[in-house]
Chains A and B, each alone.
Chain A
């Protein structure tokens, strides 16, 4: 098996710029952002509200085209300015996993089915999808609750299922938007450690947008966003 260093970066963003409105109403949400996340790396994206974190995340998720700049995911150019170079939905399905502040599990599906659905919409046969979903739930230690509906799961269990769903199609990139915001400290830490485990063992690049300063040590790198600009924070593990 190839090691993470031999693989292309999970995502490579260069000179990304996003402008809303025009003329007097023009707002620059992202200013020439450049960043790279390697496979197996967990990167934290910090910044105050309105700094451009979510805009950057949605641009990287191919749901909010940038005004200019380039995005390459897993070695494949996907955005050239506002122009998509791939079918965005199909590309997301195969290459990007998402985890949100709320688990956003589909309430009418069991934990197992919530993971299985991500596989089936990527054309994995039902039986194989079920086996793979169960395997992921086991990996994240939530398999005893596989047949429970989300409403019967605790917040931490729901977030683990959400992580399992994000991992379902072996994405090269996982984008997490404040995944610990609705969890208490211990659970939040568990989820963040889960990202580290996933990144290291499954060779995915993980970008976590967060305000949570209690888990700084789990990140390999930290990026700060302020007024649409990205800066690398030095020596965060010693803070």
Chain B
């Protein structure tokens, strides 16, 4: 006869409510682990998917994700000339926040090197890759932009031609893919008035110099388009993505690139390490501390509940001792109840998480290894939590039952 089960059956309401409470706490513990896994997954997702062997970024920076990186776009031509390089493409990445249909819309703008990269590697849920050099975009569905939706960014209107799922940046904002020139246009969009002021300022600067006075045509050129002034640099990109030729020696390519003082080169793994060490590590420690606290709170709650349940039946326990029940019978009753509470709570946490976690704003990724380790932790804390109740039960005098 299992006394623990019979007692639970008798106090089913209290057991269920307590277990639900424990389950919700454990769901939080589970969710925190899942959020951490999700952070790592999301942070490294783009690096994994974009399919580059090497990342060329601004010298002495850890860009383009961990910090800002600026490179001249024509660097890709220099990189292409390095022996062993099959392809070099510009990559633009920046986050913008705009208002769309009365709600704030944050998105990570990724520029693809049109026409080499049209986003065929992007896993599409619906729609198609980019087919035009301008005014098309692929958006993650977390941005809630339907296929065919037109959105004004800067001076131009872009149409959503493809939808992805689960592609977000390190801060959890949905990714959007444009051609690199569109991405730059969005990034460096300047209002008309600002442009007019800038042109007027340029003209004033030229007028103030002897060159301007000697060459009046320069005044007109200074007040014109920026692209018409060769002395002004073209907009800069965030990185150059390098794909090596099959069988190429990566170390040899890196050795060559390393001699260029204006750039820094990272492998895909180094780029991931930068992301994880710089951006995710603090979040990991923060979440780890919260998990530790929640586990301690769960232990204390289970211990108090078990202790209270033990006090409720202290006369029954005294009776069992009086009629000769062994300590193992009494201890087993309490330990089993704590374990039932922990294990059912864990099961409930898992079940609730299945339905709730997908609705969280950021990805919650529950790994099997995490589930197993949390399950073991629950068994350990349930066992520890039962000690207080067992101690109380074993110290009660059998003659307590004789007291009226």
Contact = CB atoms under 8 A, between A and B. Distances in A.
Contacts of A106: 313, 316, 319-320
Contacts of A118: 323
Contact of B7 (A98, A104, A108): A108
B10 interface: yes
Contact of B323 (A92, A101, A113): A92
B319 A121 contact: no
Interface in B390-404: 397-399, 401-402, 404
Contact of B1 (A54, A122, A126): A126
A108 B399 contact: no
B279 interface: no
Nearest to A123: B326
B402 A117 contact: no
Nearest to B321: A89
A116 B329 CA distance: 14
Contacts of B404: 101-102
B322 A61 contact: yes
A90 to B, nearest CB: 6
Contacts of A121: 320, 323-326, 329
B131 interface: no
Contacts of A58: 399, 402
A218 interface: no
Interface in A107-158: 107-109, 113, 116-118, 120-122, 126, 129, 149
A116 B1 contact: yes
Contacts of A92: 322-324
A88 to B, nearest CB: 9
A102 B400 CA distance: 13
Contacts of B321: 89
Nearest to B401: A104
Contact of B324 (A100, A113, A122, A177): A122
A116 B1 CA distance: 8
A107 B10 contact: yes
A52 to B, nearest CB: 14
Nearest to A109: B6
A165 interface: yes
B10 A98 contact: no
Interface in B1-31: 1, 3, 6-7, 9-11
Contact of A104 (B1, B9, B315, B326): B315
A93 B324 contact: yes
Interface string B207-225: 0000000000000000000
Range, interface on chain B: 20 to 34
A63 interface: yes
B1 A98 contact: no
Interface string B313-357: 101100111111110010000000000000000000000000000
Contacts of B399: 58, 61, 63-64
A107 B316 contact: yes
Given A108-B9, A117-B1, A126-B1, A100 B401 contact: yes
A231 to B, nearest CB: 24
A34 interface: no
Contacts of A91: 324
Interface in B158-191: none
A94 interface: yes
Given A104-B319, A108-B9, A116-B1, A89 B401 contact: no
Nearest to A107: B10
Contacts of A93: 323-325
Nearest to B11: A108
A153 to B, nearest CB: 15
Nearest to B6: A108
A72 to B, nearest CB: 19
Interface of A: 54, 57-58, 61, 63-64, 89-94, 98, 100-102, 104, 106-109, 113, 116-118, 120-122, 126, 129, 149, 165, 177
25 contacts: A57-B402, A58-B399, A58-B402, A61-B322, A63-B397, A64-B399, A89-B324, A90-B324, A92-B324, A93-B325, A100-B401, A104-B315, A106-B316, A107-B10, A108-B7, A108-B9, A108-B11, A109-B3, A117-B3, A120-B1, A121-B324, A121-B326, A122-B324, A126-B1, A177-B402
Given A92-B324, A108-B11, 4 more contacts: A63-B322, A104-B315, A104-B401, A108-B313
Interface of B: 1, 3, 6-7, 9-11, 313, 315-316, 319-326, 329, 397-399, 401-402, 404
